[in-house]
Amino acid sequence: MVTTRTPWYMLHSPEIGHAFQDFADVCDGDGVLDRKTKALLMLAAASFLQRDDCIEDRLCRALEAGATKAEITETLLITAFQSAEALVEAESALYLKYLGGANGPWS
């Protein structure tokens, strides 16, 4: 499912690019966290950053690592909640700053 191609950074900056790819490979491999957990975390990060190409790639990798439809759905929903919560907090600070309330100029 995952298409293998040489990343642009390895083509244009081979020394640093290869080191970065080695880091990525370690992140994808076995470690304290199992591959499925890592794949779901990376899917959540891609979703939070709203990178469609990365979301698709990471969703495929999660499936390949054994994630179920339910696990992927829950991961994406938790990420959506966290994204919304962060947005509400940012908007809240600006709302209070400009429209009043605690510590606002027009309270």
The CATH number given to whatever domain includes residue 40 is 1.20.1290.10
Q: Answer yes or no: is 83 within a domain.
A: no
pLDDT digit string, tens, across residues 1-36: 556 788 899 999 999 999 999 998 998 888 999 999
Residue 53 structure tokens: 């190409």
In contact, 85 and 79? CB cutoff 8 Å:
no
pLDDT digit string, tens, across residues 86-95: 888 888 888 8
Q: Provide the domain count of the chain.
A: 1
Q: Answer yes or no: is 65 within a domain.
A: yes
Q: Answer yes or no: is 70 within a domain.
A: yes
Nearest to 83 by CA among 54, 57, 44: 44
Q: Is the pTM of this model over 0.85?
A: no
Q: Answer yes or no: is 99 within a domain.
A: no
Q: Answer yes or no: is 59 within a domain.
A: yes
Q: Which amino acid is at 25?
A: D
Torsion of CA 97, 100, 105, 106, to 10 degrees: 160
Q: Answer yes or no: is 39 within a domain.
A: yes
Q: Answer yes or no: is 93 within a domain.
A: no
Domain that residue 55 falls in: 10-78
In contact, 14 and 49? CB cutoff 8 Å:
no
In contact, 9 and 16? CB cutoff 8 Å:
yes
